[in-house]
Structure 1
């Protein structure tokens, strides 16, 4: 059995500090169902301390007053520290999340480092002051940090979600109070150690693992200038309502029900392995997962047979085994949610093509077999609601207009992909789909480009130049008009 990791302090304003309360969070392995770590549970009093230190650091400290170049140097040291410890980071995510190690290294750890690298590249080209010619005289347009940021991150891709908020916020000159998910706090502790070693000034970062009650207190705190949140639609709506009391700015990256469209002339040898990988990435616990696969009627039977074979071959098991593709779900609650949706799909009349059960060979752990439903109507709950696990729908369409209509007939609009005979044809389809990100004849996620959603998939964008802009306010300074001779 793995020794239990014991963390007894919180990282508040750059100092390792005793928590205000005595409650702890037990981190449980989704594979063994055993406690693997204990960390303090942050309280509202800890939030007050963190926000006050962040407020002081922003209002009076050096960080927002440093040159952009100086902040770039510090954030580069943070990036390099994460890179040096990325293998350790990946193994922590595998331990606490159950993410297969073959996914936790590239998706969880290396992509977080890449997000810092991409943000640094954007910052090096950033112009924080610009002179313009106005109608009545010259203007100086400044871009200034928004202030103190509450960053609330999820359990599924914890370090990537943190990087998408922390890197641009720090480069903009903000102070950050980070609230990681109580299911997955261990990687956030590693990040705090890296930031401390990198010389981040005191007050600029706090890390407060906590549950929903403390999160609600944080996002409604009058000392917070901006909330950056990744999570469910329901929680996002609650955060937006709480933030409205103080007119706090928000960035919300929420759920998805993304569609993969296979056109009649698609190269299935190329498309299907990528679609399966995109559908079951991180054991299906991904907001961008391709959970709706749209197949033309003329090729439906062929696609159903090939997908069924491919999904049935996915290896389920110990996430530390490098041959595992599908690990456990993060909690027993999440496992039960997936099993409930499988029952709903059967009751709705969908055909279970493969999966649908708890695997026989996993006596412990919160596992669900990779599951593929066929004969799915897009109006069914399994096609409309985010399940967040290895449960995927195969949907028949009649022609391209029908495929586009089905893809768009969703409350979500986060991601998707199309597979076409030519890239040009695929781009035509991409222009018709109402999602924030889209892939043509590939399945990609690039931290150099803006990421976010339409409709219930969120508000605002992370990554790319747009990601840093979300942490900047714009100020116009009117300068005196030149004296006429």
Structure 2
């Protein structure tokens, strides 16, 4: 065990893939390094799967869907996913250490990435158990006489899930468990930077549940073409993906030739409209925290703060103090709330966008570089940029770092226009002492989700999805579950 492992709890994940019920290496045993972003040290290896490995996984999933009773035996699915929930509970501290090792997520804020998804397994299992898969739609007049119509909800088939690195275990669960309880078979392709959150999931399925061979598969790889092969494979009926809009476009194109069902949660550039009657002392420190708590690596982060000109400097002062006092450091240290960026590449992207903002006329209020006290690890200072041009790169491009941009506005109409000046429409926020006024503003924002006065829109019981180039379809809620089902309308004698 290295000094890093002994002192910080770094833990290597399972280096194998799960294909057709077996935990395997790729042919030839090729692997790739997994780096701990807080130390810049290699923590271990993951299997570097190939296009052939992906083909075997898809074939297994296709066979399991077509030739077994998985899609028809709800009681057995409930049994297996109840086992999965119990197994994840037993393994959660192990999973937590793997998550911190891969992502650099501070231990203090891992609850939303470990406990929450484990509880989601229980939620979806119960939701799937209670769901009405056959609905009587009544008797209808037809030219040939009365006909009763029934709606049969049935599994889509083979689902390919491609997940990102920012909240890997959570999204691995969110994109696969509803699909499984709905009766689909699944092939999971985890992100290249966080393969272990997928391979550990596969290990637990193989070793601690009765989920049959081929029903759930995990292929890890450091090659982009492996995920592309999953998207294009005609044996796959549906792709679910969370990640960048650029990759989402490529996935949509890859599935076009087979008219594959595609569920996409893509990029965001969310605006937080702080109205002139808002309690700045309550709303702005929370806005600063949200920018930093996941190192800014969140798709729903309201990274564009819109402040009224009448209170502009007051708001900047509060944001500056909050960001300068935010606890940044070693993710293994309790109390730390912001860890490193996922990689040096990502940190350089963030720093480059900050400089782009300055070059375009933005005023650097605080941050903008690397913390002097953290020379090792991919850390970035919490950064506040003021006077940001709404049309500039820093205001238009998703940063995925601990950066807030601030732009002044004149009135409510002006604020809404600035907020809607984006190709994205994933999330947004409004703060005001007048809830009715805030609601009126929220309904004018072209985005799939809006939070008013910190009352979060996000939850497993409510649909979550984006407008414009932020995605297609929904996760969560009854609408999210139905994404993994096809509706068959059956006409029959009354």
Q: Which moved more, 1:145-154 or 1:411-420?
A: 411-420
Given candidates 57, 63, 75, the residue that maps to 1:56 is 63
Higher deviation after alignment, 9-18 or 88-97: 9-18
1:455 aligns with 2:468: yes
Q: Output aligned runs, 1:20-59, within 5 Å.
A: 20-59=27-66
Contact 1:278 1:443 in 2 (8 A): no
Q: Pick one of 401, 416, 422 that aligns with 1:404.
A: 416
State whether residues 186 and 217 of structure 2, in contact with CA within 8 Å, keep that contact through their aligned partners in structure 1: yes
Q: Give secondary structure in 1 for the equivalent of 2:95.
A: helix
Counterpart of 1:134 (choices 137, 140, 146) is 140
Q: Secondary structure at the match of 2:114?
A: helix
1:101 counterpart = 2:107 = yes
Matches of 1:25 and 1:466, distance apart in 2 = 38
What is the alpha-carbon distance in structure 2 between the residues aligned to residue 6 and residue 97 of structure 1?
12
Alignment partner of 1:369 is 2:369: no
8 Å Cα contact 1:280-1:289 kept in structure 2: no
Aligned to 1:160: 170
User: Which of structure 1's runs of 4+ aligned residues deviate more than 4 A?
Assistant: none
CA distance in 2, matches of 1:422, 1:146: 45
> 2:212 — aligned with what?
201
Q: Deviations for 1:308-360, whole angstroms, at most 9, x for unmatched residues?
A: 01001112211111121221100110011011111101100000000001111
Change in CA separation of 1:8 and 1:123 when aligned onto 2, cut-off 3 Å? closer
> 1:79 aligned to 2:103?
no
- 1:177 to 2:177 alignment: no
Question: What do residues 159-208 of structure 1 show as CA deviations (whole Å, max 9, x unaligned)?
Answer: 11112211110111000000001111112222123323121111101111
Number of equivalent positions: 479
SS in 1 for 2:293: helix
Q: Is the 8 Å Cα contact of residues 434 and 454 (structure 1) preserved in structure 2?
A: yes
Report the alpha carbon displacement of residue 116 of structure 1 after superposing the two structures with TM. 2.3
- In 2, the alpha carbon distance for the partners of 1:19 and 1:314 equals 43
> 1:443 deviation in Å?
5.1
Report the RMSD for the aligned CA atoms in angstroms. Answer: 1.5
- Mapped to 1, the partners of 2:60 and 2:269 lie a distance apart of 39
Match of 2:125 in 1: 120
Give distance in 2, aligned partners of 1:200 and 1:388: 36
- Mapped partners of 1:420, 1:232: distance in 2: 31
Q: Is the 8 A contact 1:21 1:43 kept in 2?
A: no
**1:437–1:453 Cα contact (<8 Å) kept:** yes
Distance 2:228 2:478 in 1: 29
Distance 2:451 2:14 in 1: 41
Identify unmatched segments of 5+ residues in structure 2.
Answer: 6-10
Say whether residues 1:338 and 2:350 are aligned partners. Answer: yes
Contact 2:273-2:415 within 8 A present in 1 as well? yes
Cα distance change on mapping 1:273 and 1:479 into 2, 3 Å: same
SS at match of 2:39: coil
Quick one: distance in 2 between partners of 1:335 and 1:5?
Answer: 23
Structure 1: gaps of 5 or more residues: none
Pick closer, same or farther for the CA change 1:420–1:204 going to 2, 3 Å.
same
CA distance change for structure 1 residues 118 and 429 in 2, over 3 Å: closer, same or farther? farther
After TM superposition, the structure 1 stretch with the greater mean CA deviation from structure 2, 358-367 or 84-93, is 84-93
**CA–CA separation in structure 1 for the residues paired with 2:12 and 2:169:** 19
Contact 1:417 1:443 in 2 (8 A): no
- TM-score for the superposition, normalised by structure 2: 0.94
CA gap 1:75/1:422 in 2 versus in 1, 3 angstroms: farther
Instruction: Label 1:99 to 1:8 Cα distance change in 2 as closer, same or farther (>3 A).
Output: closer
**Range with greater deviation from structure 2 (19-28 or 232-241):** 19-28
Note the alpha carbon deviations across 1:118-163, whole angstroms, 9 max, x for none.
3234324411011222223111210110000110000000011112
2:116 corresponds to 1:111: yes
1:325 aligns with 2:337: yes
Secondary structure, aligned partner of 2:268: coil
After TM superposition, the structure 1 stretch with the greater mean CA deviation from structure 2, 210-219 or 1-10, is: 1-10
CA contact (8 A) 1:54 1:148 kept: yes
